[in-house]
């Protein structure tokens, strides 16, 4: 390590609190030295460092995009610390010490008792032996040959897979935030399902316990080989308070012949207070490559948190007969902003895609659906159906739709439908007649509105998501 680096690393952390392992936090700012530092800290091979540097050099040539329908103060990329080793969190001794607000939320969501503790950061081994559970899961997965670990572990244990697939779906220079992520990502998940294996459990179950501590620049890579299938759930219905304001994750999915990947997201990050102060900027690049014949990639997302959500989980349907799906519910309240949607790029023959997007805006929030359906000249017989519905609650919010439809093949059939509605006085009156209060009525109407999407979620999350929604919109009607 050079002398400059050495001094940088050993510089005392001068922003308020002291941390006993100061060398584990990189100084603020972004430059090649920092990237080399991250790479060195993680003991990465040379090719990964050059991958990062390539991304960084590309990022320098790019400008922050301006086309999106969200507004935020300019981000100072030099004011972010790009590396910090997971700090051992102060464990709470019992549930009594947990913030009552958090407990109230758990209560409302109906999170199982033993999980509440884990989520709230109570020393889990007191109540719940997470280590043993994790081990059981790991054993079960290993038996069938599934690799499921953090991306840094995978870099060391399975470099050939990482080298082959990392950046193959989202290239380093894909977009501004993806380039940034490629340069500085610290950790994330890696999942590899070998040929012909059906993953015996929803990876969600496992993930939920491990939910804490995922970083600001997450990187996820999921590969399903021929005939494999997996269902993966990211995030958590429980509210997450995080000090990092900018989150720029990258998720890459690769499905080979006959493989099936189902990726579900429930996002409930801190959305700022009711005046729009604070909250997380969630700028994510998610893309799946349906590379093989008859492969299938399905995205389901429930976006309720973050001050700004800006993401387009996409499918590149390259294999013939491949299928892409996108089911989304985006709820915005107060001063939240969401610009989300999907891209379905049809390249192979007889590829099919379905888009169902439901946007709910309340308070002073704005939600946009922005989608692209592109039928390439090679996509004979491609088929797309899109439906995007918006619901407005209150007259201060906005709902927007920007569907791009680009068709280059006349054998394709593309349909797009959109509608906007509100919860009418007459609907509420109808419920009132039957003795149902307005709060509950709104919750029922919203759940009916979002039913098509919730059906796609793994069972237990569907139940929680339903509750989450009514919880988010509490007090916005009546």
Partner 1 sequence: MNATAQLDYLASLLKCWPIKQTEAQAWLNQLRMQAFDCVGTQKLPTRRDEEWRFTDISSLAPLTYQPSRPECNLQARDLERWYLKEAKHRLVFVDGHYVGHLSTVADPLQLTIGNLPDFVSSHAAILEFQLGRHAAFDRNIFTALNTAFLRDGAVICIPKNTVIAEPIHVLFVATQNEVTSYPRCLLLGEAGSQVTLIEDYVALSQSAYITNSVTEIGLAANAHAKHIRIQRDSPQAFHLASCAVSQAHASHYQSVSISLGSQISRYNLDVKLADEAAECDIDGLTLIADRQLADTHTCIDHAKPNGTSRQQHKCIVDGSAHAVFNGKIVVHPHAQRTNSSQSSRNLLLSKTAQVDTKPQLEIFADDVKCAHGATVGQLDREEIFYLESRGLSEVVARNLLTYAFAAEILSRIPIVSLKRQLEQTVLSRTRSNPS
Task: Provide the binding-site residues for partner 1, judged by CB under 8 A.
Answer: 67, 375, 377, 390, 392-422
Least distance (Å) between residue 238 CB and partner 1:
30
Q: Provide the minimum distance between the beta carbon of 280 and partner 1 in the complex, in angstroms, as a whole number.
A: 25
Query: By C-beta, is 399 or 445 nearer to partner 1?
Result: 399
Q: How far is the CB of 407 from partner 1 (least distance, A)?
A: 4
CB nearer partner 1, residue 276 or residue 403: 403
Query: Under a CB-based contact definition with an 8 Å cutoff, are residues 391 and 360 in contact?
Result: yes
Q: How far is the CB of 428 from partner 1 (least distance, A)?
A: 13
Name the residue nearer to partner 1 (CB basis): 265 or 368: 368
Minimum Å gap between C-beta 68 and partner 1 is 11
| Length in residues, the chain | 478
DSSP string over 10-47: HS---SSS--S-GGGBPPBS-SHHHHHHHHHHTT--HH
Burial profile 430-467: b = 16 or more Cβ within 10 angstroms, e = fewer: ebeeeeeeeeebbbebbeebbebbbebbbebbbebbbb
Q: How far apart are CA 277 and CA 113, in angstroms?
A: 32
Distances (CA, A) of 315 to 20, 92, 295, 352, 447: 45, 42, 11, 11, 27
- Residue 330: C-alpha distances to residues 140, 302, 415 (Å): 35, 6, 22
| Shortest Cβ 346–partner 1 spacing (Å) | 12
The smaller minimum CB distance to partner 1, of residues 52 and 370, is found at: 370
Nearer to partner 1, 270 or 385 (CB): 385
Query: How many C-beta atoms lie closer than 10 Å to residue 234's C-beta?
Result: 22
Nearest to 262 by CA among 293, 288, 299, 218: 299
Nearer to partner 1, 19 or 396 (CB): 396
What minimum distance in Å lies between the beta carbon of 329 and partner 1?
Answer: 18
* CB of 416 vs partner 1, minimal distance in Å: 4
Long-range contacts of 53-57 (CB under 8 A, 24+ apart): 53/183, 54/172, 55/172, 55/173, 55/179, 55/180, 55/181, 55/182, 55/183, 56/30, 56/32, 56/179, 56/183, 56/184
| Residue 368 CB, nearest approach to partner 1 (Å) | 8
Nearer to partner 1, 65 or 200 (CB): 65
Give the residue with the Cβ less far from partner 1, 268 or 361: 361
Q: Which residues of 22-40 are buried (b: 16+ CB within 10 A; e: fewer)?
A: eeebbbbebeebbbbbbbe
Cβ-based nearer residue to partner 1, 136 or 406: 406
């Amino acid at each position: 390590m050079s002398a400059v680096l050495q001094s940088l690393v050993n510089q005392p952390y001068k922003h308020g609190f002291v941390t006993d392992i100061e060398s584990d936090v990189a100084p603020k700012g972004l430059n090649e030295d920092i990237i080399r530092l991250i790479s060195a800290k993680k003991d990465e091979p040379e090719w990964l460092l050059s991958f990062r540097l390539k991304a960084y050099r590309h990022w320098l040539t790019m400008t922050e995009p301006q086309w999106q329908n969200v507004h935020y103060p300019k981000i100072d990329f030099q004011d972010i610390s790009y590396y910090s080793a997971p700090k051992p969190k102060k464990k709470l001794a019992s549930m009594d010490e947990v913030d009552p607000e958090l407990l109230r939320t758990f209560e409302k969501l109906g999170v199982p008792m033993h999980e509440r503790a884990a989520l709230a950061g109570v020393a889990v081994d007191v109540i719940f032996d997470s280590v043993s559970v994790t081990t059981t899961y790991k054993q079960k997965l290993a038996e069938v040959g599934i690799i499921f670990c953090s991306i840094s572990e995978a870099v060391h244990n399975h470099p050939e897979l990482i080298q082959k697939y990392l950046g193959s779906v989202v290239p380093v220079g894909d977009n501004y935030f993806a380039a940034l992520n490629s340069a500085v990502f610290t950790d994330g998940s890696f999942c590899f399902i070998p040929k012909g294996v059906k993953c015996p459990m929803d990876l969600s179950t496992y993930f939920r316990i491990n939910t804490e501590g995922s970083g600001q620049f997450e990187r996820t890579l999921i590969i399903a080989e021929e005939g494999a299938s997996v269902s993966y759930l990211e995030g958590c219905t429980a509210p997450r308070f995080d000090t990092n304001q900018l989150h720029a994750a990258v998720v890459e999915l690769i499905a080979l012949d006959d493989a099936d990947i189902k990726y579900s997201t429930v996002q409930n990050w801190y959305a700022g207070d009711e005046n729009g102060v604070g909250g997380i900027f969630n700028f994510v690049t998610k893309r799946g490559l349906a590379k093989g014949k008859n492969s299938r990639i399905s995205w389901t997302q429930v976006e309720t948190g973050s001050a700004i959500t800006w993401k387009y989980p996409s499918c590149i349907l390259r294999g013939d007969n491949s299928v892409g799906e996108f089911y989304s519910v985006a709820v915005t309240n107060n001063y939240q902003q969401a610009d989300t949607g999907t891209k379905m790029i049809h390249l192979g023959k007889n590829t099919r895609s379905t888009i169902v997007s439901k946007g709910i805006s309340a308070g002073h929030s704005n939600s946009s659906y922005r989608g692209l359906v592109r039928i390439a000249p090679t996509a004979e017989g491609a088929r797309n159906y899109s439906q995007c519905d918006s619901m407005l609650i209150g007259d201060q919010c906005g709902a927007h739709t920007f569907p791009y439809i680009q068709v280059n093949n006349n054998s394709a059939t593309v349909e797009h439908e959109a509608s906007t509605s509100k919860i009418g006085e007459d609907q509420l009156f109808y419920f009132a007649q039957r003795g149902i209060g307005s709060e509950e009525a709104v919750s029922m109407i919203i759940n009916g509105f979002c039913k098509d999407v919730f059906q796609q979620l793994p069972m237990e999350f569907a139940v929680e998501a339903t509750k989450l929604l009514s919880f988010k919109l509490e007090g916005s009607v009546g």
